[in-house]
């Protein structure tokens, strides 16, 4: 746990804030190809795909470039962003960042455990509170490129956490998400994914 907290502190101190120079208006035309999976306004109607609306511009641009460059494997997107320049990625990110984020509603049956994990973590398992990086409101931390979780499709969040846990996704700074997810059971992942969906 101590190593994880030290890693978090180091990451926050070395991850510089570089505001992407994205142009939302230019990004609108470039984002047309994204609508089929992520929705025209960035709210995905298919639960397995992430909603992009209201997500931090710097985080979205990083994810697009990571997928383009192969450091994050998303088969469905590889061909979509292969020809994107850094500027294209920043423009598309700016477009979606300017959209109103999704508003979800949590399943009450999973609420208690999800809230416990998100707000307090689970010290017995060595799981820190999600609020440390993603804020009490689920709005993340743009400077550190920690994503907005509030309103995110639970099926997508659940799949993402399992990919971190299994080491399939490895573009997290200092192995933080992989280290945390490795300590989470399927039920923990389901509960916290449900909780953040309704965190508005």
184 known ligand binder? no
133 known ligand binder? yes
Q: Of 143, 135, 105, 101, whose CA–CA distance to 118 is shortest?
A: 135
Which residues have C-beta within 8 Å of that of residue 47, sequence separation ≥ 6?
153, 154, 155, 156
1 known ligand binder? no
Which residues have C-beta within 8 Å of that of residue 172, sequence separation ≥ 6?
164, 178
Cβ(30)–Cβ(88) under 8 Å?
A: yes
177 known ligand binder? yes
45 known ligand binder? no
34 known ligand binder? yes
Cβ(114)–Cβ(194) under 8 Å?
A: yes
77 known ligand binder? yes
What residue numbers does the annotated binding site cover?
Answer: 34, 37-38, 77, 130, 133-134, 177
| Known binding positions for heme c | 34, 37-38, 77, 130, 133-134, 177
């Amino acid at each position: 746990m101590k190593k994880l907290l030290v890693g978090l502190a180091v990451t926050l101190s070395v991850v510089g804030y570089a505001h992407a120079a994205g142009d939302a208006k230019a990004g609108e035309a470039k984002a047309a190809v994204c609508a089929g999976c992520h929705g025209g306004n960035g709210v995905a109607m298919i639960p397995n795909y992430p909603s992009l609306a209201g997500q931090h511009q710097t985080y979205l641009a990083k994810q697009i470039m990571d997928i383009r460059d192969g450091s994050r494997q998303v088969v469905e997107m590889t061909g979509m962003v292969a020809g994107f320049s850094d500027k294209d990625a920043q423009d598309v990110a700016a477009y979606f960042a300017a959209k109103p984020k999704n508003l979800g509603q949590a399943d009450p049956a999973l609420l208690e455990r999800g809230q416990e994990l998100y707000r307090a973590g689970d010290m017995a398992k060595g799981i820190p509170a999600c609020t440390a990086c993603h804020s009490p409101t689920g709005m993340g931390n743009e400077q550190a490129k920690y994503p907005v979780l509030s309103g995110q499709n639970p099926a997508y969040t659940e799949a993402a956490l399992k990919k971190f846990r299994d080491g399939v996704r490895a573009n997290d700074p200092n192995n933080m998400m992989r280290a945390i997810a490795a300590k989470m059971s399927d039920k923990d992942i389901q509960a916290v994914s449900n909780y953040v969906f309704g965190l508005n």
